Chains A and B, each alone.
Chain A
Amino acid sequence: MAEEAGIATVCVSTGRDLTEQVKPPRSLFLNYPMGNNFGGPDDLDLQTRILRRALAMIDDVTVGGTLIDWEEAWPKKFEYFRGK
């Protein structure tokens, strides 16, 4: 809807299967815990690089539904969060 209105969107996602199904126009997938879409706390360098990578997709992506995998791994193993 935003795209049709001339607004370019990027989804910065931590759920790869969900994102593949919904197929946003541009997605940057990070295999990070949900809620760490832009990395860890106080890691300004990583947060900035993720944000800049997402912004770069505005120019780079030429096909709607493109999903790019962020290449840097999360430092610890993590699991599905079953809630509080």
Chain B
Amino acid sequence: MKPINYVEALNSHYGSLGFPPYQWTVNETAPLTRLGKPIENCTVSLLTSGGVSHCSLPGFNPDARNDHRLDTVQNDASSADFEINDSYYNHSDAESDLNCVFPIDRLRELAEDGVIGSVATRLWSGFMGRIYNRTKVIQESAPAFVEKLKEDGVDILIAAPA
């Protein structure tokens, strides 16, 4: 089957609810860093925007707009100890197995097998829902996040938007 046209579907859906057309980010170019060292020596972190929260914390607002909350997930957290609150996608599979959207078990296995060097101390869940204030992301939230990745010595970040 052809991929879903999300731009059209989302604008139609939310337009019918009275929202203005979403201003999608359009980039013509993208930066690229070459690490210069093998993946088996790299520290890897994960980020999901799928409304995933540890059970020790309040859940995300499933209908969130402009929520820049970013949770730290310890790298030894059990994948059974999370909940998902997000009205924007069907997370029944991910609730059954967190690894569908946030593969913390699979990443730990790759570290144990020596495919990667290590799992970063902190993994990340946040920026869920619909974020309209893009400038705040670019000027505040994203740079602050990058600083945390640098603190942890992260070489590679795998991002799973949902």
A interface vs B, CB < 8 Å? Answer: 1-18, 21-26, 29, 31, 33-42, 44, 47-48, 50-52, 54-56, 58-59, 61-65, 73, 77-84
B interface vs A, CB < 8 Å? Answer: 1, 3-7, 9, 13, 24-35, 39, 42, 44, 50, 62, 87-91, 93-94, 96-97, 99-101, 103, 106-107, 109-110, 115-116, 138, 142-143, 146, 149-150, 154-162
Q: Is the interface of B mostly helix, strand, loop or mixed?
A: loop
Q: Is the interface of A mostly helix, strand, loop or mixed?
A: loop
Q: Are A35 and B110 in contact, with the CB atoms below 8 A? A: no
Q: Are B28 and A23 in contact, with the CB atoms below 8 A? A: yes
Q: Are B157 and A35 in contact, with the CB atoms below 8 A? A: no
From residue A43, how far is it (CB to closest CB) to chain B in Å? 8
Q: What would be 9 A-B contacts, judged by CB atoms less than 8 Å apart?
A: A1-B142, A15-B3, A15-B6, A17-B6, A31-B1, A35-B90, A58-B35, A64-B29, A82-B13
A3 to B44, CA, bound (A): 14
